[in-house]
């Protein structure tokens, strides 16, 4: 994994690290919703990742980031969150926990 990150420029590596931190925090919030309020874990995680995708896309739009930039931008992070939300939703449906 470190080899893949070293191939990216500094701002893209920073964007990947922030994405991992945000995804971890989102996972903790989903676990909290699951344990405290009894919401299904997969649904909570998919919901929170979907909202995070919208927030990051809004920030990218406000900052006028180019979706076709050579470096990773908020648009890429938004797509990654949307992909995680879709994957979690699919796994939850297949496994029957959603």
- Tens of pLDDT, residues 47-93: 999 999 999 999 999 999 988 888 889 999 999 999 999 999 999 88
Exposed, middle or buried: residue 66 (CB in 10 Å: 0-12, 13-18, 19+)? exposed
The predicted pLDDT at position 21 comes to 96
User: Which has the closest alpha carbon to 45: 93, 89, 79?
Assistant: 89
User: Which has the closest alpha carbon to 73: 26, 19, 6?
Assistant: 19
Average pLDDT over residues 7-18: 88
The predicted pLDDT at position 98 comes to 58
């Amino acid at each position: 994994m470190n080899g893949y990150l070293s191939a990216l420029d500094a701002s893209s590596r920073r964007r990947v690290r922030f994405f991992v931190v945000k995804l971890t925090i989102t996972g903790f919030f989903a676990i909290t919703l699951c344990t405290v309020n009894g919401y299904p874990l997969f649904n909570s995680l998919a919901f929170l990742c979907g909202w995070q995708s919208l927030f990051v896309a809004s920030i990218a739009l406000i900052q006028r980031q180019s979706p076709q930039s050579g470096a990773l931008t908020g648009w890429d992070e938004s797509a990654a969150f949307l992909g995680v939300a879709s994957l979690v939703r699919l796994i939850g449906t297949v496994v029957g926990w959603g």
